[in-house]
Every structure is written in C-alpha cells, then in structure tokens.
Amino acid sequence: MNRDDERRRMLRRLIWGAHRERQRRRRNLTTGLLLVLMVSMGFIAFPYTEVQATQVMSGCGLGFVWPIESKSSPMIVRDFDNPAQPWLPGHRGVDLQVSYGVVVVAPSDGTLVFAGQVGGKNVLTIDHGNGLSTTYEPATTTLPVGTALRRGEQFGKVDGHSDHCDGQCLHWGLREGKQRYRNPEHAVRQQRIALKPVDDASAIQ
C-alpha cells in the first residue's frame, strides 16, 4: 500500500466519523424536541402533585395566622428569647402590642385544652396536634375546654394582667412537645412553597 492509498483511507475514516457525529447530534436534538413537545402537551406526567405549602418547623412556616384580629401584622414589643437550658430564664414566646379586650383568634386548627389561671394569670391553651400547642396570656374565653377551633376563629379576648404585659399586650407562646419552645413569629412569617413528591410510582405514565 502506497502513501496515496493510506491518505485516501484516512480521509474516508475522517469523513465517515464526521458523518456519524452529525447523525448522533441530530438524533439527540430530535429526541430532546420530542420530549419538550410531549411534556408541553401533557403526554408525560412527572411524579409531582400540585404546588402546596410545606409545614415543617425547621426553616419553614406552619401556615399560622396572627392570633389577634387585625388588618395588619401586630407590633412585637418583646421578641422570642429561648434559653439554652429549660431551667434558665428567657422569653418563651413573643409579646404582641394590643389593647385590653382585643379579640383572640386561633392561629391554626386545634382544640381548646386549657382555660384558667396559672400563677394568678389568665391563660388559654390550644392543642394543634402533632405535639404542637400554643398559649395566650392574659386571655379569657367563654368556650368550654374541648371546643374544636378553626384557623382564624374567635375563641377569647385579652383580659387580665400578667408579668408579661399588664393588659397592654398578648403573650403568645408555641411549644413542641413538653419542653421545646419555638418562635411563633416564624410560624407566621416563614412560609415556603414546595413541590411535594408523589410516593406512588404508578403516577408516571
């Protein structure tokens, strides 16, 4: 085989390789365009449901509303200050500036589980399930313990005095379990929208 034959063979290999590469790119482009078209026309269903709000304590909100009737967010006159240990002093909730007699509403669905005095202070407690409960002080209600409450439903009013507010604010606490306190402001403010995966793989068509 002379050099001319070798050059022609190398040239044919280069041309054939370039041809195969163009075909591969054309197939990939066609496949991509078909997938985009099928998704846009609804022929492919991905394993996700509609957008919905997550309700995870870490970093996300619980979808709570403020516990007082107001057209705007209330002023917080004292912030949440969780102590490092349960026995240390701190501020296990937030104090909302209100007037005496302001109506208190349920921040989320729950059950009224306590209405009475603790240390001479009027206190109300709602159990929201999943180990979460909220407290309100000073506040009273005419509803019996065990009443089911809906989010935003009136259930009491600011009434009485406490070492938090002296009737000029409402102390609002959020507890998870028996001793773990959370910042209730975050339950209102930090809400995030996320896609929730579907567990059933049969949703993929």
Structure tokens at 103: 């109506």
Q: Sheet of 103-105: strands edge to edge?
A: 103-105, 154-158, 139-140
Structural domain spans, the chain: 3-44, 76-189
Alpha carbons 100 and 140: distance in angstroms, whole number: 11
Higher pLDDT, 39 or 85: 85
Contact between 103 and 68 under an 8 Å Cβ cutoff? The reply is yes
User: pLDDT tens for residues 13-35?
Assistant: 667 666 666 766 776 676 666 66
Q: For residue 84, count CB atoms less than 10 angstroms from its CB and return exposed for 0-12, middle for 13-18, buried for 19 or more.
A: exposed
Q: For residue 122, count CB atoms less than 10 angstroms from its CB and return exposed for 0-12, middle for 13-18, buried for 19 or more.
A: buried
Alpha carbons 60 and 173: distance in angstroms, whole number: 17
The residue type of 110 is G
pLDDT band at 203, cuts 50/70/90? very low
User: pLDDT tens for residues 120-149?
Assistant: 899 999 999 999 999 999 999 999 999 999
pLDDT at position 50: 35
pLDDT over threshold 70, residue 90: yes
What does each C-alpha distance from 34 to 10, 30, 39, 43, 95 come to in angstroms? 36, 6, 9, 11, 58
pLDDT at position 81: 87
CATH superfamily of 76-189: Glucose Permease (Domain IIA) (2.70.70.10)
User: pLDDT tens for residues 152-199?
Assistant: 999 999 998 877 766 589 999 999 998 889 999 999 965 444 444 545
pLDDT band at 87, cuts 50/70/90? confident
Tokens 């002093």 -> residue: 89
pLDDT at position 19: 62
pLDDT at position 47: 44
pLDDT at position 199: 52
The secondary structure of residue 181, as a DSSP letter, is: E
